[in-house]
Chain A
Amino acid sequence: MIRLAAFLLALVAAWPAAAEEVVAALNQTRVAITTSFDGSEIFIYGAIKRDAPEAEGELNVVITLIGPSAPVVVRKKIRQFGIWVNDPGVQVDAAPSFYAVASTRPLREALSYTDDLRHRISIDHAVRLIGDTQAERYPEDYRAAVMRLRRQGGLYTEQSGAVSVAEATLFSTSIRLPAQLIEGDYRARIFITRDKAVVDHVEKTIAVRKIGLERWIYVMAKDHALIYGLLSLAIALAAGWLASTFFRIFFP
């Protein structure tokens, strides 16, 4: 009986922390890459659901959007015989093609290191070296180069203060997808934290697909390489003939 009372007491004490839940939605769950595709804006919004009065501790919202991950080879130019030549390179086993983190405050102030590691939230945890890296003397340089180059290319972004929260309940942000986008499923994750600890999170998926002509050309090139090659030639020759004939008739 005493044990049951103690258990109920503990449950009640623990209740407020678990009582906050996040619900979120995206303005679009499909992004179509058409010929005129010039990037896209994803609007992410949601609310924090509560069964009890607001809990103690500083509230923060962290939102990440991650593109499909693939291995990438990083090469460093080294000097040989007076000219700069690529070295054999290091394979970074997983690097997302796109990564955006938006948060209410700078990430380090909104999230503890352990929770960041557990949920793999910051860019640093998404780019991973797994394989045989012993052979290389400074693999960390190569991993850092992936992050640096992709940041420069606008593929990895960190925006602190980009998430706005109203009435400690409603939040929203928008993340820009660049024109240099590859196909795949993009995962949006929304975390709420209290005193740097993750309280709850939800995940949504955005399907980025080439459509129409883009899709057709891509599939042809990969799956029907011979026909595609012949077709490219046919188009080229037809265009060359058309141009020649056109200019002969109109500008002799």
Chain B
Amino acid sequence: MNIYLPIAEVSVSVTLLLGVGGGVGLLSGLFGVGGGFLMTPLLILCGIPPAVAVATGANQICAASFSGMLAHWRRRTVDFKMGLVLLVGGLVGSAIGVQLFALLRTLGQVDLLISLCYVVFLGIVGALMLVESVQALMRSRRGVVRRNRKRHGWMHGLPFKMRFRASNLYISAIPPFLVGLLVGVLAAIMGVGGGFIMVPAMIYLLGMATTVVVGTSLFQIMFVTAATTLMHAIANQTVDALLALVLLVGGVVGTQIGVRLAPRLKAEQLRILLALLVLVVCTKLGVDLIITPDEPFSLAEPLH
């Protein structure tokens, strides 16, 4: 059965979209990431115009992270104060990102920007995660107890210090603000929540208590993707509500299955799998930028 999407102006198989939503949802339930980095390229592969895929992806992630955040809220694993600081950065970042997106759209380089962002960030995060999780796996096999991480000295010299009780931190508000800003820019350009960057940054850079990391990240992502959706809807008119709804139905079911499947697998193994997945997507996009394309021409709507 096909469904005609009013904004994308294409007719796509509902089963395919439910499958994409479900598959990405499954992964996000398993790994605790939003899955936007897979959603946008998959939608483009389904024939959805890139601009619509990015904007609609943001809308879908907003719903998914709201759903996840509610669960964490009930367990009291959300640091709202930290979330707010990240959010302020995120909102500034997504405003910059949407402007950048609109500018590059007029230059016809949006596809390139999206691909480059993906290759660079997925490459870095995938490689770091792979190294870290392989090391962790080897350590756990050798039975060595991990030493406590060193606290970053330079961060204590910065002004605007704040106490984040839930995260067990007393640090300057500037590093979280900058992390939020970066994630906001990426959210707007790549149509992702940015969880795959924010979660490692919160643990390794800010040194937050790991229990509150996912919930706080979801809290921030929810607001940033909401703002991104709104800005894309106004500036580019590329949000397809019908597409978002179909993806959501698949996504919700997939996430819940993933969450129930996750405890049966080892954390280190899961992270290695996620790292490999990230690197596969990164390699595919990177190769496309380098090899000679079969069809050098592409069509686009002129901007008014």
Which residues of A does B touch, CB under 8 Å? 33-39, 70-78, 82-86, 88-89, 91, 141-142, 145-146, 148-150, 179-180, 182, 210, 213-215, 217-218, 221-222, 225-226, 228-233, 235-237, 239-241, 243-244, 247-248, 251
**Please, how many angstroms separate the alpha-carbon atoms of A147 and B68 in the complex?**
47
Residues of chain A with a CB closer than 8 A to B11's CB: 37-39, 179-180
Q: Is the CB of B230 within 8 A of A239?
A: no
CA distance A182 to B11 in the complex (A): 11
**Judging by beta carbons under 8 Å apart, are A217 and B241 in contact?**
yes
Chain B residues numbered 213-240 whose CB sits less than 8 Å from any CB in chain A:
226, 229-230, 232-234, 237, 239-240
* Whole-angstrom distance between the Cβ of B284 and the nearest chain A Cβ: 15
Taking a contact as CB atoms under 8 Å apart, the answer to whether B62 and A233 are in contact is yes
B244 at the binding interface (Cβ < 8 Å)? yes
Of B9, B63, B233, B290, the residue contacting A237 (CB under 8 A) is B63
13 extra A-B contacts, CB within 8 A, seeds A228-B239, A240-B65: A35-B3, A73-B302, A77-B293, A83-B290, A179-B2, A214-B4, A226-B234, A232-B233, A233-B226, A236-B244, A237-B63, A240-B248, A244-B71
Q: Which residues of A contact B237 (CB under 8 A)?
A: 221-222, 225
Known: A73-B300, A180-B9, A228-B241. A240 touches B2 (CB 8 A): no
B231 to chain A, nearest CB (A): 8
Task: Give the total of B residues in contact with A, Cβ under 8 Å.
Answer: 56
Stretch at the interface among B104-112, B125-133, B171-179: B104-112
Give complex CA distance A251, B226 in Å: 28
A229–B2 touching, CB < 8 Å: no
Shortest CB distance B114–A (Å)? 12
In the complex where A36-B4, A37-B4, A75-B297 touch, is A221 in contact with B67 (Cβ < 8 A)? no
Q: Is the interface of B mostly helix, strand, loop or mixed?
A: helix
Q: Which 7 A-B pairs have the closest CB atoms?
A: A229-B233, A179-B11, A236-B63, A145-B297, A240-B67, A240-B66, A243-B252
Chain A neighbourhood of B261, CB < 8 A:
none
Q: Which residues of B contact A215 (CB under 8 A)?
A: 6
- In the docked arrangement, what's the CA distance between A61 and B299, Å? 33
Shortest Cβ gap from B119 to chain A (Å): 9
* Set of chain A residues within 8 Å of B296, measured between Cβ atoms: 76-78, 84
Q: Does residue B1 face the partner (Cβ distance < 8 Å to A)? A: yes
Interface mask (B70-84 → A, CB under 8 Å = 1, otherwise 0)? 110000000000000
CB-CB nearest in chain B for A236: B63
Listed by A's residue number, 5 A-B pairs whose Cβ atoms lie within 8 Å are: A73-B301, A75-B108, A86-B108, A86-B112, A231-B241
Cα separation A210 to B293 with both chains bound (whole Å):
35
Per a CB cutoff under 8 Å, which of A34, A145, A225, A235 touches B241? A235
Contacts of B242 in A (CB 8 A): 35, 213, 217
Contact partners of B230 in chain A: CB under 8 A:
226, 229-230, 233
Asked if residues B256 and A221 are in contact (CB atoms below 8 Å), the reply is no
A148 to B240, CA, bound (A): 28
With A84-B293, A235-B245: A36-B2 Cβ-Cβ less than 8 Å: yes
